[in-house]
């Protein structure tokens, strides 16, 4: 009995770690691209530093997404056609991630002895329209992520993983 419980806990832990890994990887790619773009636009030489910071941000934001998923945030539309939960989750999580990013930048600025207004200015120049644009970009880039998550929910995460990384088999929907 005890061995079965440990095996179940281990299996659940591995599954959760795999989910977290894919979230981190996706966010790191996105944030890494933002960092490369910013380095090019601002002509900064410290690309490796920015990639490390993008990885740390990806880990933090992935954990926030992971916790939000555990609390079933934005699960209201899971029985509606795919477009609804995809758009809804992308919007909700874009706002959540942007909010935490603003809080993070504010705390870092305050830690460094800056005033509150100066702390917020690190992201998008601190202007509301620029922060809105970053939120809209996050909304759009989260759509493929949530599309895959929703499809995985419908056909099974293992089947989705198999389709992408193991072998490709023809998907035959279940007859009702």
The model's pLDDT over 99-148, given as tens digits with 9 standing for 90+, comes to: 887 787 778 778 877 776 666 655 555 577 777 888 898 899 999 999 99
Instruction: For 1-12, write each residue's pLDDT tens digit.
Output: 678 888 888 888
Which of 74, 68, 76, 104 has the alpha carbon at shortest distance from 92?
Answer: 74
Quote the pTM value: 0.75
**Residue in the block written with tokens 């989705």:** 160
**Residue in the block written with tokens 């493929």:** 144
- DSSP-derived letter for residue 44 is -
Whether the Cβ atoms of residue 124 and residue 130 lie closer than 8 Å to each other? yes
Rg (CA), the chain: 19
Q: Is the dihedral of CA 7, 145, 81, 156 positive or negative?
A: negative
- Here the tokens at position 68 are 């939000």
């Amino acid at each position: 009995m005890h061995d079965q419980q440990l095996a179940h806990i281990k299996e659940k832990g591995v599954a959760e770690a795999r989910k977290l890994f894919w979230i981190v990887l996706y966010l790191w790619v996105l944030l890494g691209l933002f960092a490369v773009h910013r380095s090019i636009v601002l002509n900064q030489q410290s690309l490796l530093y920015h990639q490390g910071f993008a990885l740390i941000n990806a880990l933090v934001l992935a954990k926030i997404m992971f916790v939000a998923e555990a609390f079933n945030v934005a699960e209201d539309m899971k029985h509606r056609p795919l477009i609804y939960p995809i758009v809804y989750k992308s919007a909700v999580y874009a706002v959540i991630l942007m909010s935490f990013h603003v809080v993070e930048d504010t705390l870092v600025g305050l830690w460094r002895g800056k005033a509150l207004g100066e702390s917020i200015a690190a992201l998008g120049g601190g202007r509301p329209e620029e922060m809105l644009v970053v939120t809209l970009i996050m909304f759009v880039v989260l759509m493929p992520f949530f599309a895959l998550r929703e499809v995985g929910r419908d056909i099974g995460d293992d089947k989705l993983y198999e389709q992408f990384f193991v072998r490709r088999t023809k998907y035959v929907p279940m007859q009702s």
